[in-house]
C-alpha cells in the first residue's frame, strides 16, 4: 500500500531579495509598431498584457506593442485575438497580417503548442502557424484541466480521466475514470522536461498524484492526500528544476514537493501594503516557472478594476514581488514583467 503522507504544514514566507540583474522599464507609450519587429527572434520575448500585446527585444531593450480588444494569446510566431463568444478568432503573424480562423473555440498557447479548446470544452485541436488543424481529439467529458511541455499535452476531464498526448496527437497514457467515486481532475501540471505530470483530483479524499515518464508512457509513482478538500478548479505550475509544483485555487496557495511527496500550505507575507489584501478577497493563479526552483503566481485582489500583482516564489518562499503587474514572460534574454503601462525587463535573471 502506497504510503499516504498527510503533511499540510504551514510555512510563513518572507520576502527575499531576488538575484536579479539590471532592470529596464519600457513604457507602452514609447513602444514601436509591431510591423517593425526584426525577423530574427533571438532574445525576443512575447508578452500579453490586459490590453496590449507584443514583443520585447531583450538585446536592444526595445518594445514592440499593439493594443488589442477582447482576449488574445501570443507566442513567437504571432497571436490570436478572440471574443468571449468564441465566434471571432483572428489569427495574426508577427508581420501583422491577419485572417479569420474558422473555429468555434478558445485558443490556448503554451510551450510551442497552439491549441484550440472547442466551445463545448469537449475537444482540442492542434493548429500550426497558419491556423491549419494538425490533429484534433474529442473527449467524452468536458475538459477540466490542461497543461503541456514541449513534448506532451495533458488533459484532465470531469470524470477523472487523464489523457496524455504527444505532439502528433497520439495517446501515450490514459488514467481511469468513473463516477462511482468522484475522481474529477481539478488541475494538472507537466514538468518542462516532460518527465513528470502532477494531477490534483478526486474528493474524499482529494489527492495529488504524480506520474513519471516510463519508456513511451507514464506510470503513477506517488500520491498524497490533501486535508483541505475543495471543488474549485486549480491552476498548477511546475518549477523548471522539477523539484515542486505550485498549486493555486481561490485564495489558497500550496507547495507540493514532487520527490519528497509532501504538501505545504504557503502563507505569504509580502511586506507590500498594496498586495496584502484580505484573505477572502484574494485569488491566486499559478502561472509558470521563471527558471530553476521559481514559479510565478498572479495575485488578484477583488476590486473594480481588480488589483493585481506578480509574486515569484522560490521553493514556495517569496523571492520577488511586482505590485500591479498583470503577467510575466521569461526566456534566455531575461524576464519580462508586464504592467498596465509598460514592461519591466529584468536582465540577467538567475533565480
Partner 1 sequence: MKGMKYLPLIFVCLAAPMPGALDFQIPEVLDLSGFGSLPGDRTNAQLPGKSPQMGSLYGRVPRSDIVLESATADIEVPASGTVIYVQADAPVKTIFSFPLGGALAILHPESYVSLISGLDAERALESAERRQSAAQSELVVKKGETLPGGNGSGVYPPNYFGLRLFDAKSSLWVNPIFLASWIHDRTPPVIRSARLARSDGSGTAFIDLSGVAAKDRKITCPQGSYRLYIDALDTIIPGSPMYSAPYRILAVLDGKSVVDSSLMAAKSTEAGLSFLENPAPSRETLAADGSYSVGQIVLARGEHDLQLQVSDYAGNTSTLKVFVIVR
Residues that bind partner 1 (CB under 8 A): 48-51, 71-73, 84-87, 102-106, 108, 116-123, 125, 133, 136-144, 158-159, 178-180, 182, 184, 186, 203-204, 229, 231-233, 235, 283, 285, 298, 300, 302, 306, 308, 326-327, 338
For 290, residues 6+ apart whose C-beta sits below 8 A from its C-beta are 240, 296, 312, 328, 330, 335, 349, 351
CB of 274 to partner 1, least distance (A): 16
Identity of the residue, 6 or 179, whose beta carbon is nearer to partner 1 in the bound complex: 179
Identity of the residue, 39 or 168, whose beta carbon is nearer to partner 1 in the bound complex: 168
CB of 116 to partner 1, least distance (A): 6
CB of 228 to partner 1, least distance (A): 11
CB of 105 to partner 1, least distance (A): 5
Identity of the residue, 326 or 335, whose beta carbon is nearer to partner 1 in the bound complex: 326
Identity of the residue, 236 or 258, whose beta carbon is nearer to partner 1 in the bound complex: 236
Q: Which residue has 511586506 as its cell numbers? A: 271
Identity of the residue, 201 or 244, whose beta carbon is nearer to partner 1 in the bound complex: 201
CB of 50 to partner 1, least distance (A): 5
Euclidean distance between CA atoms 346 and 185, whole angstroms: 36
Residue 32: DSSP 8-state: B
Q: Which residues of 282-303 are buried (b: 16+ CB within 10 A; e: fewer)?
A: bbbbbbbbbbbbbbbbbbbbee
Identity of the residue, 23 or 229, whose beta carbon is nearer to partner 1 in the bound complex: 229
Classify 169 in phi/psi space as left (phi over 0), alpha (psi -120 to 50) or beta: left
CB of 74 to partner 1, least distance (A): 11
110 alpha-carbon distance from chain centroid: 8
Euclidean distance between CA atoms 151 and 246, whole angstroms: 21
Amino acid at each position: 500500500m502506497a504510503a499516504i503522507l498527510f503533511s499540510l504544514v504551514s510555512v510563513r514566507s518572507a520576502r527575499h531579495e531576488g538575484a536579479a540583474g539590471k532592470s529596464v522599464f519600457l513604457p507602452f507609450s514609447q513602444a514601436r509598431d509591431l510591423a517593425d519587429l526584426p525577423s530574427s527572434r533571438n532574445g525576443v520575448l512575447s508578452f500579453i498584457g490586459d490590453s496590449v500585446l507584443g514583443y520585447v527585444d531583450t538585446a536592444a531593450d526595445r518594445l514592440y506593442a499593439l493594443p488589442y480588444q477582447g482576449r488574445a494569446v501570443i507566442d513567437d510566431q504571432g497571436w490570436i485575438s478572440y471574443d468571449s463568444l468564441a465566434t471571432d478568432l483572428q489569427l495574426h503573424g508577427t508581420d501583422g497580417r491577419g485572417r479569420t480562423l474558422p473555429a468555434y473555440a478558445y485558443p490556448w498557447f503554451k510551450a510551442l503548442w497552439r491549441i484550440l479548446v472547442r466551445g463545448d470544452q469537449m475537444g482540442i485541436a492542434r493548429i500550426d502557424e497558419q491556423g491549419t488543424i494538425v490533429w484534433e481529439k474529442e473527449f467524452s467529458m468536458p475538459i477540466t484541466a490542461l497543461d503541456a511541455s514541449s513534448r506532451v499535452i495533458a488533459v484532465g476531464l470531469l470524470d477523472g480521466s487523464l489523457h496524455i498526448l504527444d505532439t502528433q496527437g497520439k495517446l501515450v497514457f490514459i488514467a481511469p475514470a468513473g463516477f462511482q467515486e468522484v475522481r474529477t481532475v481539478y488541475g494538472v501540471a507537466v514538468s518542462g522536461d516532460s518527465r513528470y505530470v502532477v494531477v490534483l483530483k478526486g474528493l474524499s479524499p482529494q489527492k495529488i498524484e504524480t506520474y513519471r515518464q516510463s519508456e513511451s508512457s507514464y506510470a503513477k509513482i506517488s500520491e498524497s492526500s490533501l486535508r483541505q478538500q475543495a471543488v474549485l478548479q486549480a491552476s498548477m505550475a511546475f518549477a523548471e528544476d522539477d523539484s515542486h509544483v505550485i498549486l493555486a485555487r481561490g485564495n489558497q496557495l500550496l507547495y507540493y514537493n514532487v520527490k519528497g511527496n509532501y504538501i505545504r500550505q504557503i502563507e505569504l507575507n509580502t511586506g507590500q501594503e498594496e498586495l496584502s489584501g484580505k484573505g477572502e478577497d484574494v485569488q491566486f493563479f499559478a502561472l509558470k516557472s521563471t527558471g530553476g526552483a521559481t514559479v510565478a503566481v498572479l495575485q488578484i485582489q477583488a476590486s473594480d478594476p481588480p488589483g493585481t500583482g506578480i509574486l515569484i516564489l522560490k521553493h514556495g518562499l517569496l523571492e520577488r514581488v511586482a505590485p500591479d503587474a498583470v503577467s510575466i514572460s521569461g526566456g534566455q534574454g531575461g524576464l519580462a514583467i508586464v504592467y498596465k503601462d509598460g514592461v519591466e525587463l529584468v536582465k540577467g535573471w538567475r533565480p
